Each structure stands twice: as C-alpha cells, then as structure tokens.
Structure 1
Amino acid sequence: MKVRVSFVGGRELDEALNQFTPSKRRAIGRVALDNAGEITAKAARALAPVDSGGLRESIEVSGTLSRAQKSQHAKAAEQERFIGPDSRPQAHLREFGSDGNAPQPFLRPAWDQTKNAVKDRIGDELWVGIEKAVKAAARKALRAKS
C-alpha cells in the first residue's frame, strides 16, 4: 500500500532538513519514521488474532523487506519504513482470508485508526531531530574553537 502524506509546515521542514548532509537527513528521517511507525505497529499487535501469538509478536517497524517482498516492491521515496509482520506466510491469509478462513483484518484497521497520529508524530519527530542536530553542530563548532 502506498500512502502520500502532506502537512502544514512541510516546506519549512524541508528547508530545515536541507541544511544537513544527506546521511544526517537520512538518520533524522529514519528515527522519525521508526518512532512514528511504532504507533501503528502497536495498534496492529493489539488487533492481531492470537492463536500461538507468533503473528502478533512478528509485527515490527523495519527498513528491510523479505526477498519475496523486495521483488514486488518498487522503491518510491528516499526514506521508507515498513510496518507489518515478518515474512510469515500466514500473515496475509489472516488479514485477507482464504478459502476456508474468513478475513481477520488487523493491519489495515490499525493504520486507519492511527494515520493522523502517525502523521503528526512524524512532523514532531523530524523537528526534534533537526533541533538535536543543530545543537550537536553548535557544540562541535564550540569545541573546534577551543
């Protein structure tokens, strides 16, 4: 599922991020997306059907996909994080159902419940990351003068 998000202050945020090196921007974005994605992951864990608990335990926020998932994914953005179960074969069967089993959706309802909170958290986390990076750069410059 591909989701595009826009929000108030995005242009200012982009300008603030552009003052950093690409690797620093990626680090700030990675932390922000991981922390915000955990909101949806937590909701998905709460909604996941429990037999042995393995499905619930496998839901995580990650920057990597399984080999099978990678073959079906076209990278669309500089920063991407994935929320969901690991490569367990039963995950999509639980979410969407199969011939003998009714669907037991957990990931889509979790996203629907948390998408606004995630969007807000991403913006907040990015600003926090920018502020931390600016303070660290100021400390580094002060040490260089001494």
Structure 2
Amino acid sequence: MLKKLIIVALASSLFTGCASVPMESEAVSAKAKLFSPPSDGNAGLYIYRSSGLGTALKKDIWVDGKCLGETAPNMFFYEEVKGNTEHKISTESEFSPNDLLLNTESGNNYFIKQYMKPGVFVGGAGLEKVDEKEGKADVSELEMAKKGVCSK
C-alpha cells in the first residue's frame, strides 16, 4: 500500500509546481500582442499555452520540423510562416509527437492552443486551432517566450 501511495504522489507531482522558460522583454511581448498582420506573403502563428493541468511540465513545439522552443504555462510564441501553404505544428507528447496540419492564407494570423492531458507515465500534450476572438483574448493575458532549444 505504501508503494502505491508513493507512486501516486510522484505521478501527482508531475502535474503540480510550475515550469518556466526564458521570456522575451515586456516590450517585445506587447508588440506581438498588437496582432499586426504578418509581413507580405506570410501568415502569423500564435502558439500558446494557458494554465491548467500539467503546470510542472514543459513540452516542445515544432513548426514544419523546426524547433520553436519549450512551452510552460501562461506563455506564447509568435512565428511567421509562408502563407498559402500547409504547415505542420507538432508538440511533444508522452510516446510520440502530436501534429496539427494547418492551411494558411497570406496576411492572416492563426491561433493554436497547446493543452496538457493525462498520460500513462507523464502528461501528454495536444494542439487545437482556436478562432481569432478566443485566441486574441487568451494571448492578451499571456507573456511571450523566447524561441530556443527543444529538449529533444
């Protein structure tokens, strides 16, 4: 019985606490939250993670196979990609990456929410496209993370 309690306590600790990643300055974050149109021929991606389940976990994000960085609660990334193209946004999960395919149009911004979900050993992560109104409201409450190295 004691072993089971220890295992449950260790597993629970993975979903408590708070992970952190390097953050951009307030000025850079504020500029991104103006939601300006992307540069000519490009689309903008706001990839974000709110608080909730799995606050102690950091999860990698890739765009078209390129590492964007690790996520933590209450942060976002902004990345411009070629418009009028399909892009693959991937997140690290428990056993294999979870992918979201997104067809973009030049001049538009897109909002992708990363969410944590329970796993067998550690929490997993998923991605979902959200509408502009919800995405802007969510990102407005978050701070921008520095792009960096993924854990894998």
Higher Cα Rg: structure 1 or 2?
Answer: 1
TM-score scaled by length of structure 2: 0.23
Normalising by the residue count of structure 1, what TM-score does the alignment of the two structures yield?
0.23
Tell me which protein shows more strand as a share of its residues: 2
